[in-house]
Amino acid sequence: MAPTVAIVANEPSGDLLGAALIRALRAQRPGLRCLGVAGPRMLEAGCETLIEMERLSVMGLTEVLGHLPELLRIRRDLARRFLAERPAVFIGIDAPDFNLGLERRVRAAGIATAHLVSPTVWAWRPGRVKQIRASVDRMLCLFPFETEFLERHGVPARYVGHPLADEIPLRVDRAAARARLGLPGESPIIALLPGSRRGEVERLAAPFLAAARWCHERRPELHFVVPLVSERLRRLVEEAARCEAPDLPLTLVDGRSREVLGACDLVLTASGTATLEALLLKRAMVVAYRVHPLTYQLVKQLRLIRVPHIAMANLLAGEALAPEFIQGECRPERLGPALLGFLDDPARVAAIQARYARIHADLRHDAAAAAARAVLELIDERGARC
């Protein structure tokens, strides 16, 4: 009888990773059942969902506080369900503040646990490594530098590579992507990616669109495109566009963020998985981010961040190839010149693209299949001991 795998994702990037993992698990173990918290991609891959994934999509210290009672109740309900179901393994995808506590509870009840996407303990809040050690039987790492740190702290870790590096081809046809999206073939196009969570879009849509207006006033030939993961976020961006840039040549696209990145010349993006996607598509980018002011002050005062860059693209490159504008620096008069600076320097853009191509090649490891093997090994090891 094929095993049951419990799996929880809480945002679109986790949904993508979960869907790839589910397909790889079923390719290696046909008939395997998956249930948990799934987004549209995981649902397509055959995962049963117990609640809507969007109910877990909360970002930031202060933002979480308002939703904490509901999040804790959901976690308790999921734990009860998984303890009743007794899956062969529970897999938490990212979302460490939510998933590690859930993993610790089911692990204490004798259920094997794996976690896909290492928490950034090497970057900030390193004290969390104790919680990780108590919660997971196997950490599945997307980046090679993570395993050494975790194993040094007693956490069993496996480097599996990043599924996006496998999925995204080394070369992308920009003209074909534009044609599929109905975008202008000749105009320079800047993609705006203000995030996949409501709070991110509420804070970043206005300055991103104002920066686009700043650029368009100086370069009327520019066109702008925004990919959106939901109708709710589309409405937020439409409202911000009416206020900040009503005459901007702007195309809103439902989903299809990867095609948008493939079609554009340049990207203005929130920090997050989008910076990795832009890197893999060899697009020069400007990165900006804002959190609640109290969250930012807490992070600064407690010195919780231990890395020189916030964008994964810059961490992988080891230098700030993508300019970063955080909190008060996230202003149109700062973002606009950084964007036009790329358009004015094609040699700089070409050098960045070459560097991104080398990083992309290094990250290709058939990640979903490698992660599936690690999970199935854990299931088989636990079964052999039982």
Q: Which two tokens stand for residue 345?
A: 């320097």
> In this model, does residue 302 exceed pLDDT 60?
no
Domains, the chain, with CATH or none: 4-161+365-385 (3.40.50.2000), 174-363 (3.40.50.2000)
Mean pLDDT score, 163-187: 92
Q: Is 303 exposed, middle or buried (0-12, 13-18, 19+ CB in 10 A)?
A: exposed
Amino acid at 18: G
Mean of pLDDT over the chain: 89
Amino acid at 115: H
pLDDT for position 67: 67
Of 345, 354, 279, which Cα lies nearest the Cα of 309? 279
Mean pLDDT score, 232-254: 94
> In this model, does residue 59 exceed pLDDT 50?
no
Do residues 207 and 288 touch, judged by C-beta distance below 8 A? Answer: yes
> In this model, does residue 305 exceed pLDDT 80?
no
Do residues 290 and 329 touch, judged by C-beta distance below 8 A? Answer: no
pLDDT for position 295: 59
In 10 A of CB 67, how many CB atoms?
14
DSSP states of 48-108: EEEEEGGGG---SHHHHHHHHHHHHHHHHHHHHHHHHH--SEEEEES-HHHHHHHHHHHHH
Of 170, 229, 174, 226, which Cα lies nearest the Cα of 198? 229
Mean pLDDT score, 150-177: 92
What is the spatial distance between Cα 118 and Cα 143, in angstroms, rounded to a whole number? 9
Instruction: Give pTM, 2 decimals.
Output: 0.74
Q: Is 57 exposed, middle or buried (0-12, 13-18, 19+ CB in 10 A)?
A: buried
